[in-house]
Structure 1
Amino acid sequence: MTVETKLPYDAEYVSQFSKNLGEPEWLTNIRLEALQKVDQLPLPKADKTKIDNWNFTNFKHGLKNEKIQSLEQLPEEIKALINSDQAQKQNLLIQRNGSLAYTVISEELKNQGVIFTDIATAASTHGELLQKYFMTKAVKVDEHKLTALHAALMTGGTFIYVPKNVEVKEPLQVVYLQDEDVALFNHVIVVAEDNSAVTYIENYLSFNETENVANIIAEVIAGTNANVHYGAVDHLATGMTAYVNRRGVVGRDGRIEWALGQMNDGNTVSENITNLKGDGSYADSKTVTVSRGEQKQNITTKIVHFGKNSVGNILNHGVVKDEATSIFNGIGKIEHGATKSNAEQTSRILMLSEKARGDANPILLIDEDDVMAGHAASVGRVDPVQLYYLMSRGIQKVEAERLIIHGFLRPVVNELAIENVKNQLVEVIERKVR
């Protein structure tokens, strides 16, 4: 089904927007070609969730120049994510309402050829390299309406490039703040060439409760024997309808590890897909979420095995309260020829109220004989045995439930490499479950 979009943004607007950013001709052409396809393509399929009437197209588009001179000018919520004592030393990028607000990268990384910059700067100064990876390796422009819309109206994002044989020892941190009424169209590209390693941590924050849209795409490319650790905490406000697509491609003996805290308060459809292309490639995807109010969240995690001896692990944990709905779709697919591969997944949902709804859908698609695969899924309430154990030691019921919930969501919290970000996720979980 193709839904009429009625965008107020035409080819003239898109051309002028691209020109104002100083983008190369190839990127302008991608925008214009994508815009033509928006009304021709259907919305993505979200299993067991009807998204036809969700707001993906009613928004204000644009950028606001938010350059700051000091971290002291930032809201307290942003300061809490940053180690102020190390701010000048750590590799940090902050975007506010789509525009670059603050950036610092160590001289050591610059000397090693590492690129860590916003997407607009990458387009103007590293155009040929960006063109090689922008919506060519992982996500394609014409997959559906929302990918085309994203390509046409992208505003912000980050480009990270790690050359061969370079190990980035300290995490790269990016904070995306949306506190105005413009939509969030963010594109992130992380490229780790052969025998390289990088840890990337991002935070999405919005405080404006008015109706708005977030359309986020991330593309992660891990070369031969490369290692990428990708951590994210999404915390977008109630009025924000979010489409989030994070996708990875892994070469021979490469690794991508995802640690995703999806804490949005608005309706969200999320896809996290990793394609294990090379022999011996590995992917580990951990996702936690807390749904509350009347929000609906549809979260799909998929790992596709193409290479021999490839390994894919999926872990999804969700907490649902009030009248919210959370759906986990876990998909492990082993293609013909991917012998000796192993696909494992676990999805669990805790229900905290009578009207909450949770679904955990494990799917294994196996086209090869000589493989291993398994799945586990459960939807239920707080374990009464655990609750009894804690209460028998003098802990009140409310506090005991809180401890159980934090333990349930701990697998992702522990994976975040920056202590301030880890603490922020714990605080968000605390607020949402209470």
Structure 2
Amino acid sequence: MDLTTAKQQLATASATHHEPSALTKRRLAALAAFKTLALPKMPKLKFQTWPFFERQPNLTWTGAAAFDLAPALEGQVRLTQVGQVTLDAHVPAALKDQGVLLMDLFTALQTVPDLVLKFLMTVVKADENKLTAHHLAYLNAGAFLYVPRGVKVTAPVEINVTQDSTQPHQPLIHHLLIVAEANSQVDVIQHLTTQGTAANPASLMVEIVAQANSRVTFSSLDELGAQTVTYFKRRAQIGRDAKVEWAVGMMNAGNTVGEMDSELVGEGGEGDSKLIAITTADQQVGINNRVTHHGQHTTGLINQRGVLLGQSRLVFNGIGEIIHGAHGAKAEQQNRVLMMSPATRGDANPILLIDENDVEAGHAASVGPVNPVQLNYLLSRGIPKPVAQRLVIRGFLAAVLTAIPTQRVREELIAILERKLTDGQA
């Protein structure tokens, strides 16, 4: 399809969807950039031929599979989406009175357009690569969370997103925008799942704006289906004395490539990124986990651990970058990979890019098989081998699991972990 025709179709779809003209203009600019941009770089993983794009983009932006939804509990802050439809958005009255917003992204673009457009695609730029441009051009689902200045949301905000793959040609292009104003606090738990077995791509983006002295904890439990090819990009812009903690369980069953970024733009900011990934069968996964220090006296931590089963492939790239002028910055990272089969291939690549003298920086990386001493000890106690392997894996992942700040997230992640490991062993 030529660019002129594609633009006309996209402009018509945006108008039919009653979107602000400013968003339509951004969509069209992103579409033009998409035609010329390159795919993002993922060293040591060949993903360029993966089916990220539909030949004929779906521009209806409607429809959802059947879904049973339990009623929201008192005090619960929750948003539930299936495909492009929001089934539930619940914010207690006390938080509404303080100005907290949690709603479907397109509803927010209708009700508070200036607020959304002020931040949308400002942390992640649409023209960064071909996948970010495509994401904005064909964005079809999303959520908006806004926490005003000084407000502390004590209950976790639950965002449940189910990819509707009951039919083919239904890509999920989902955008979660979180804005935490100065001195605010919020704990967000995202859960990504797939309903149905049709092959559909997913483009998933999270933008976090953490203003001065705010605290944001973002946890995500990712378990998309085996037929889903996924691109994700999660980035936080961290202001002066603000802190963002990431805790991600990457349990997708399909091929996945993506990026996690903490941009420490204000003095004294902190970014703490924890990630667990499990790969099985012939799955391929590549992750760039980056912390960039712009401000002085900032702290950036990366701790990621992966377990490979079957004939799977996993690439961890941990990137700590200290920009010139970021005096007193501290960058530390660990990248560790455990291979449970000789047919697997894992890479743990620590990268430090330092353009300043008065800093602290360090890294650790390891790739290897399961510890035979630990495994033999468990086997000698009569524990079946599959159970013994899972116990060794649990021990290997404990450094990250125990560091996840929310007990409920830890318990859910362990349950998903056990399920995926059992399926992988089978």
TM-score category by the smaller chain?
over 0.9
Alignment of 1:402-421 (within 5 A): 402-414=390-402, 415=404, 417=406, 419=408
C-alpha offsets along residues 232-288 of structure 1, whole Å, 9 cap, x if unaligned? 011111111111000011111110000011111111111001111111110100011
- C-alpha change, 1:288 and 1:143, in structure 2 (3 Å) is same
AA aligned to 1:245 is K
Instruction: State the match for 1:327 in structure 2.
Output: 315
Instruction: State the match for 1:32 in structure 2.
Output: 28
- On the 8 A contact 1:260/1:412 being kept in 2, the answer is no
**1:118 and 2:104 aligned:** yes
From 62, 65, 73, the counterpart of 1:64: 62
Instruction: State the match for 1:70 in structure 2.
Output: none
| Deviation of the 1:7 alpha carbon | 9.3
**1:427 and 2:415 aligned:** yes
**1:44 and 2:43 aligned:** no
Instruction: State the match for 1:109 in structure 2.
Output: 95
- C-alpha change, 1:298 and 1:418, in structure 2 (3 Å) is same
**1:98 and 2:94 aligned:** no
C-alpha offsets along residues 135-163 of structure 1, whole Å, 9 cap, x if unaligned? 12x10011111111111111111111111
Instruction: State the match for 1:55 in structure 2.
Output: 51
Question: What is the alpha-carbon distance in structure 1 between the residues aligned to residue 2 and residue 80 of structure 2?
Answer: 32
C-alpha offsets along residues 375-408 of structure 1, whole Å, 9 cap, x if unaligned? 1101111122322443444433321211121233
**1:236 and 2:236 aligned:** no
Instruction: State the match for 1:74 in structure 2.
Output: 67
C-alpha offsets along residues 350-387 of structure 1, whole Å, 9 cap, x if unaligned? 11111100000000111111111111101111122322
- On the 8 A contact 2:305/2:400 being kept in 1, the answer is no
Question: What is the alpha-carbon distance in structure 1 between the residues aligned to residue 309 and residue 4 of structure 2?
Answer: 37
| Deviation of the 1:9 alpha carbon | 8.0
AA aligned to 2:108 is A
Alignment of 1:288-299 (within 5 A): 288-299=276-287
**1:175 and 2:160 aligned:** yes
AA aligned to 1:261 is G
AA aligned to 2:297 is N
AA aligned to 1:169 is T
Question: What is the alpha-carbon distance in structure 2 between the residues aligned to residue 403 and residue 6 of structure 1?
Answer: 55
- C-alpha change, 1:413 and 1:142, in structure 2 (3 Å) is same
Q: Secondary structure at the match of 1:302?
A: strand
Alignment of 1:340-351 (within 5 A): 340-351=328-339
Unaligned ranges ≥5, structure 1: 68-72
- Could you say which structure has the greater relative contact order, defined with CA pairs below 8 angstroms and 6 or more residues apart? 1
Deviates more, 1:171-180 or 1:401-410: 401-410
**1:187 and 2:175 aligned:** yes
Q: Secondary structure at the match of 1:10?
A: helix
**1:313 and 2:301 aligned:** yes
Instruction: State the match for 2:360 in structure 1.
Output: 372
Q: Secondary structure at the match of 1:433?
A: helix
Aligned length: 416
**1:142 and 2:127 aligned:** yes
- On the 8 A contact 2:3/2:32 being kept in 1, the answer is no
AA aligned to 1:231 is S
**1:277 and 2:275 aligned:** no
Question: What is the alpha-carbon distance in structure 1 between the residues aligned to residue 4 and residue 15 of structure 2?
Answer: 18
| Deviation of the 1:343 alpha carbon | 0.4
RMSD: 2.1
| Deviation of the 1:209 alpha carbon | 2.8
Q: Percent identity?
A: 40
| Deviation of the 1:335 alpha carbon | 1.1
TM-score (norm 1): 0.91
AA aligned to 2:274 is K
| Deviation of the 1:311 alpha carbon | 0.6
C-alpha offsets along residues 31-51 of structure 1, whole Å, 9 cap, x if unaligned? 111112211111111111122
C-alpha offsets along residues 11-36 of structure 1, whole Å, 9 cap, x if unaligned? 23222322232211101111111112
Q: Secondary structure at the match of 2:128?
A: coil
